[in-house]
Amino acid sequence: MAKAKKRKELSKGLLVLAGGLAFTGCGQPVVQTTDAVPEPAASQSSAEKPVITPANWPLQQPPIARTEAIENKIKTLLAQMSLEQKVGQIIQADIASVTPQQVRDYYLGSVLNGGNSAPGRDNRAGAAAWLQLADAFWQASTDTSDGRPYIPVMWGTDAVHGHSNVKGATIFPHNIGLGAMREPELMREIGRVTAAEMQVTGLDWTFAPTIAVVRDDRWGRTYESYSEDPQLVASYAPHILQGIQGVPGSADFLKGQHMLATVKHFLGDGGTVDGKDQGDNQHTEAELRDIHGTPYYAAIAAGARVVMASYNSWFGEKMHGFRPMLNDVLVERMGFDGFVVGDWNGHGQVKGCTPTDCANSLLAGLDMFMAPDSWEKLYQTTLAQVKDGRISMQRLDEAVSRVLRIKAEMGLFEQVKPSERPLAGRYELLGSPEHRAVARQAARKSLVLLKNNQQLLPLKANSKVLVAGDGADHIGKQSGGWTLSWQGSGNKNTDFPNGESIYAGIKQAVEAGGGKAELSENGRFTDKPDVAVVVFGEEPYAEFVGDRSHLAFDDGRALQILTELKTQGIPTVSVFLSGRPLWVNPELNQSDAFVAAFLPGTEGGAVADLLIRSPAGEIRHDFQGKLSFSWPAKATGELLNWGDKNYQPQFAYGYGLSYSDNTELAKLGEESGISADQVLNFSRYLHAGKAVNPWQLQLLDKGQVTVVTEPLQKSAGGALEAAATDRLQQEDSVLLTFQQDAAVAIQHAQGMALDLSRQANGDMTLELEYQVVAATEGKVSVAMQCGEHCKSSLDFSGYFAGMAGKGWQSLKIPLRCFTAANSAFDLSKISQPLVLEASSGLKLQLAKVRLAENEGQGQCGN
C-alpha cells in the first residue's frame, strides 16, 4: 500500500470558517461548518532523521501535589517488600490465565479481564459472578498471614462505552457518536454512570477513555475516537475523566463512587500509515505533539493517573520501548505523575523483546506490564534481570512506587473487600432507568442527519412504517465491538435485558400514535407501508479486525432493499450503523432521508425519538449531531481531515442537518474510485458459500487450478466438484465432493499477501462453518500457505471423520497452531488463508470461512 501522503496538519490555533453550502470539483455538494478548526502545524521533511526533542514540548507542572503521608507510606512499604514482591507489583495478568492463589503466590499487583475474559470463561456471566471473583482476588492479595505487607490488587477492565463486558449494564454510544454530540458536559454524566455500574461488580479500574485523534478512517479503532480534531478530543477528555475519577483535590477523588481511569494510547495510535492498527506513525514531531499530544495535556491537567502505552511505533520505534516519549516527554514535560501501563503483550513487540522477556520496556518507562498469558515467565525473567543488574533496583523501585502511589490515592489500603463497598451488589443499578435515560440522551444527540429531501422527517406517528434491514432488530449490531466480548460478535437481543432495538423503539412510538410498524429484514411486506426505515451497516468488530484497505461499504443487501422499495414508490429512510464514515453514495441516492447513527449502544429507542413525531404531531426531539469526522466523497481511503490542503469531502467536518434546514441533496456520483485490486478483505473469505471479493475459491487438482465461477464446477482433472447448495436460503453454501485426492483453496484474486501476525497475537482463529455429508477413510488436512514454498498443515482426519452426520458445525483453528506446527511459517505473508486437502470420499458442505474470536473453542487438529 502507498505510504501516507505528506500534508499540512492541525495545530492548537483556531480558524473559524463561515457556514454555507459549497461544491467539490466534481460538482458534489459539501456542507461547510462553523466549528472552530486548528490551523496547520509546522512540518519537517520526512527525509530528516526523526528525533524527539523534549524541549519542543510545552512544559506542564503536575496538577496533583504529592502528600507527605502517601510518600511515607510508599517508603515504608518499599522497605518491607522483598524483591519478589516488588516484581510482582508491576505485572498484570488476565483472569483467564491466573487464579487468586497465583495472585497471592506471585504477589501480583493487578489483574485484568481482556475482551474475551470473564468469570468462568462465560462472557454472559451474571453480575454476582464478577463480584464473587473480585472478592477472591482481593482476599488473596491481602492475606498477610505470612508476614507480607498489605497491598491490595487492582482489577482493570475495558469499560469503553459503559460497563460493556457485563450482561445487563448500560451501553453508551461509542466515542465516534459521542464526539458528534458536541456536548462535553454530558461526558461527565456518562463517566459517573460507568463508574457506578463498575462498582456494582466490585471493579475499580477502567482502561478508558481513548483519546486518540484518528487521521485515517480505515483504522479498525476509528470508532473509539471522539474526533479527527485534537481540540474536540481535548475538550472531552477532562469531563469523561472527572466523571469517572472525580475532581482532583476533592475528598472523593478516586474514592467513594469514583474510581481509576486510563487515558490511551500514548502516543500516535490514530496516525499510523494506511490506518494500520499497531502500525507505524510517520508524523513529524510537531504533528505528533500538536495533533496526538494535545488531548494528553488536557487529560493530565484534569487528573489522569494512568496512561496506557500504545502498540504503534514512531518511525519504527515501538512506543512500549521508547523512552524519549514514555519518560522524557510524558513525565518530564507533560507533568504526568501516575504510572504507565502496557497494552496486551505490547512489550513483546519491542525490538529484542518477547512477551516473556522485556527489560527494555521497563527501562524505557513502562511501569506495569500487561502480560495477560505471559505473566508467569515474564515474572521469572524480570526477577532474574534485576538480580543480574540489567534492571537497576532504582528503576524497579521507581515503577513500584508509582503503582503504590496510585493505590494509596485510591484509598485501597483502607478499603474493604469489593462486596462490602457501598454500591457492591446493587444489581438494580445495572441498566437502571436513570442510567438508561443518560444513555438514551447521548444516543439521541449523537445521531447525524445527512439527508432529508422534501423534509420527509419527522414521520407522522400514525404512519404505516416498514422497518427493514439486518440492523433493525439487532441490539448487538447497533452496539458494535467491545460489547460483552472483544469483537462484539454473536450477541443476541436476549443478551441485553436492559436494551432496546431500533425496531422496538419505532414500534412503540408509532403504535402510541395509532400507526403500525412491520418488521421485515429483507424488505418484503404484507401491507404496503407509507414509509420504510432501513437499518443497516457494518458488522461489529474491534481493533485490527476492523482495519480496511478502502472506505467503500461493500454489503449490497441494503442497497437492493432500498432500490426495490423506491421502485414501488415507497419513501425510504436509511439508518446507517458504522464505526466510521464510509462511502455509501449508492445508498444515499436511494434514500429520501439518511441518518448516520454510528454505534448508538443499547438505547435503540433514541432513533425513534428523532424520526417519529408525537401523537399530537409535534417534533419530539430535533437532530443536533454534527460530524466529528469528515465524510468521504470517494472510497479510496485517501487521508481526509478538516484543514487539509485540497479538502474535498462529501460532507464536511461539522456538517449535520436539523429539522429547521430545508436542504435538498442532489444525486451523488457513484464512482467509488477503487478497483478490485485495491480491495483486501482481512477477515471474511467465504460467505454464503461464495468467495468474498477479492478472494477466489479454487479447486486444486494435479497441479492445475480451477477458479469457481459457476454454480456447478469441476476441477481440471475431475477429482473435485463444487456445487452451490441450499442451507438456509437458495445456494447459500457450497458442497465439495472429493472423487479423488484433491484440495480446495482460498486465494486473493490478484495474488496479494495477507499479514495475520497481529491477529495471531490477538488469539484469533480461522473458522469454518460446515457439515460433513460423507466422511473419508483417508486423510483430511487444513493448511495455510505463505508463498510457494511456505506452508503449515494440520491433520484433521480424525476430527472430520467423527463429524459425519452431525449436522452443521463450527471449527475454529487458532492461528498460533500454524506457527506451532511449523516454526518457519510466516503469518505476515499469507497467500492462501485456507487450503483444505482431502482424500476421495469426503463430502463437505461449506458455508463460511472467516477469522473469528477463539472464545476457548479452538482446536489444532487430531
Within 10 Å of residue 655's Cβ, how many Cβ atoms?
25
Name the amino acid, one letter, at 391.
Answer: I
HEC profile of 340-388:
EECCCCHHHHCCCCECCECHHHHHHCCCEEECCCCHHHHHHHHHHHHHC
| DSSP-assigned beta bridge partners for residue 575 | 535, 595
Element (H, E) at 694: none
Q: 425519538: which residue's cell?
A: 609
Quick one: CA dihedral 149, 150, 154, 155, positive or negative?
positive
Within 10 Å of residue 455's Cβ, how many Cβ atoms?
14
Catalytic annotation present for 622: no
Catalytic annotation present for 543: yes
Residue 491, C-alpha cell as written in the block = 450477541
Residue 809, C-alpha cell as written in the block = 458445525
Element (H, E) at 800: helix 797-801
Residue 215, C-alpha cell as written in the block = 487521521
Catalytic residue chosen out of the listed positions 285, 343, 539, 837: 343
Number of residues assigned to the chain: 862
Element (H, E) at 90: none
Cα 687 to Cα 628: distance, rounded to the nearest angstrom: 33
In Å, the largest CA–CA distance within the chain is: 82
Residue 330, C-alpha cell as written in the block = 510524558
Q: 490542503: which residue's cell?
A: 645
Cα 327 to Cα 323: distance, rounded to the nearest angstrom: 5
172 touches 218 (CB < 8 A)? no
| Of residues 579, 537, 539, the one with CA closest to residue 559 | 537
Q: Which runs of E-coded beta strand occur in 95-204?
A: 110-113, 154-157
Q: 519491542: which residue's cell?
A: 350
Kindly give the pairing relationship between strand 809-814 and strand 764-774: antiparallel
| Of residues 310, 400, 543, 325, the one with CA closest to residue 88 | 400
Q: What is the DSSP letter of 494?
A: G
Kindly give the pairing relationship between strand 464-468 and strand 516-520: parallel
Catalytic residue chosen out of the listed positions 287, 543, 554, 721: 543
480 touches 599 (CB < 8 A)? yes
| Of residues 440, 437, 359, 366, the one with CA closest to residue 400 | 366
Cα 513 to Cα 535: distance, rounded to the nearest angstrom: 22
| Of residues 788, 814, 800, the one with CA closest to residue 846 | 800
Calculate ∠ Cα 594-598-227, nearest 5°.
Answer: 115
- Which residues, 6 or more positions from 510, have their beta carbon under 8 angstroms from its beta carbon? 459, 461, 462, 463, 465, 516, 517, 612
Residue 479, C-alpha cell as written in the block = 452496539
Cα 166 to Cα 123: distance, rounded to the nearest angstrom: 8
Q: What are phi and psi of 504, to 5 degrees?
A: -60, -40
Cα 203 to Cα 195: distance, rounded to the nearest angstrom: 9
- Which residues, 6 or more positions from 811, have their beta carbon under 8 angstroms from its beta carbon? 767, 768, 770, 782, 796, 799, 859
Residue 553, C-alpha cell as written in the block = 461499504
How far does Cα 487 stand from its chain's mean position? 7
Within 10 Å of residue 5's Cβ, how many Cβ atoms?
8
Cα 487 to Cα 479: distance, rounded to the nearest angstrom: 11
Give the residue numbers marked as catalytic.
343, 543
